[in-house]
Amino acid sequence: MSSETVRRGHVWNSLPLHIKGLALLMVPVPALMLAVVCLSSTLREERQAFQSVDQIIATRQRFRHITSVRSVPANPAQDYQALIKLTRDLGPVISDPDRNREIDAAVQQKLD
């Protein structure tokens, strides 16, 4: 063996046992930290996916309710009000406000 190899081995062998243990523990720490970061981002994405699914289920239930209200012969004004409530609950929809006013006026005229 070369003298350099013997010196390196001598340095490692002369270290106290607790320092050797800490040095060996430092090897998997970066891998563990990377795993923690990956798991936390995966959990965050999972929560976002569940929230999206919950929103879709709520919207589907609203549509079912509107469909059930519309299938029962009733006052057309109630149907119109239910549809307005549904569109408000669904959130903003990108559309032409002038065209929406024309449609609202035509529907209101039919109801009157």
Residues 16 and 61 in one domain: yes
Do 36 and 79 fall into the same domain?
A: no
Does residue 101 register a pLDDT over 70?
yes
Each residue's pLDDT tens digit, 72-87: 666 667 767 777 776 6
Does 59 lie in the same domain as 26? yes
Per residue in 4-34, pLDDT (tens digit) is 655 666 777 888 888 888 888 787 888 888 8
Distance CA 42, CA 2 (A): 50
Cα distance between residue 9 and residue 56, in whole Å: 64
Does 14 share its domain with 61? yes
In this predicted model, which residue has the larger pLDDT, 111 or 3? 111
Please state the pTM of the whole predicted model: 0.41
Which residues make Cβ contacts (< 8 Å) with residue 82, sequence separation at least 6?
65, 66, 69, 70
Residue 2 shares a structural domain with residue 56: yes
Amino acid 27: pLDDT: 76
Residue 94 clears pLDDT 70, i.e. is over it:
no
Same domain as 9, residue 59: yes
Question: How confident is residue 70, by pLDDT bands cut at 50, 70 and 90?
Answer: low
CA distance linking residue 88 with residue 26, whole number of Å = 56
pLDDT in tens, 26-64: 878 888 888 899 999 999 999 998 988 888 888 888 888
Instruction: State which of 65, 81, 97 marks the end of a domain.
Output: 65
